[in-house]
Amino acid sequence: MSEAISNFAHCEALVREADPDRYWAGLFAPADKRPHLYALYAFNFEIARVREGVREALVGEIRLQWWRDALQGEARGDVRANPVAAALDDTIVQFRLPRQSLVDLIDARIFDLYEDPMPSLNDLEGYCGETSSSLIQLSSLILSEGSNPGTADAAGHAGVAYAIAGLLRAFPIHARQGQVYVPADILNKQGVVREDIVTGRGGPGLKGALADLRAVARRHLEQAHALRTTIPNAAKPAFQSIALVEPYLRAMERPDYDPFQTVVDIPQWRRIWALWRGPF
């Protein structure tokens, strides 16, 4: 097996294990594009998991700086020795992906390293845009052979919807880690403070705040649907994963849902069925 093929195979295996929703969604893309999509998704996973692998935020910043340097050709050591970095670089070159979008994604993830509150809904939407929306837009570029697919607006809304659903699913994990992604303006409206979340107290306003955030996700999902005619057929697999947003949001509305204990999931067969039906 050549080194390049081995690098892409590593990325596919990593995504299949660590990000199964994007793995299954990637199967709806043409076979020749999947390795490059998985390289992009593997990079995203590596950046997203930096927080889990460090005890001090400064160490996390150093790790993110390595990736930033790798994208900008300034990393020390052999970047090609990292299979994800090597596969990503091959993908960037082949499809002329904008490196700045990937650097912006890294910069947005600095927020994850600290326990600062998310100040406002506008800040949350910006965070989701630089991370999740950017991934959808970059995937659209890969699927469009590097040409501008005209999907920026649709990717923006789709990515915010997908990211908010993901953050809501991970709410109990983040709460235990002292992280609060629910914007302060939404919490304030419902009379909730950060300590109610990180101590697990909750309170009557918490469910209202989470319901408000689900409504935001649905608004963005509706706007993405309204823009579906702007998405060329070739780029549609980049949006496949947002078919899971509504099923996840509905699962959070079951009577037995406990935001501090329930890591929301749905059976794999239902996920695959939703992906097969598609988002549009």
Please count the helices (runs of H) and the strands (runs of E) in the chain.
15, 0
- Of the three residues 85, 114, 143, the one that is the final residue of a domain is 114
One domain for residues 18 and 61 = yes
State the 10-residue block means of pLDDT for the chain, 280 residues long.
Answer: 86 97 97 98 96 89 93 74 94 96 96 94 98 98 96 98 97 93 96 92 90 98 97 97 97 92 89 94
One domain for residues 205 and 230 = yes
**What is the C-alpha to C-alpha distance for residues 257 and 254, in angstroms, rounded to an integer?**
5
One domain for residues 208 and 176 = yes
One domain for residues 151 and 110 = no
Residue of 8, 19, 13, 41 whose CA lies nearest to 238: 41
**CATH code, 132:** 1.10.600.10
- Of the three residues 114, 141, 158, the one that is the final residue of a domain is 114
Q: For residue 183, what are the domain limits?
A: 115-280
Residue pair 247/279 in contact by the 8 Å Cβ criterion: no
One domain for residues 78 and 125 = no
Model pTM score: 0.95
Residue of 112, 109, 127, 143 whose CA lies nearest to 40: 143
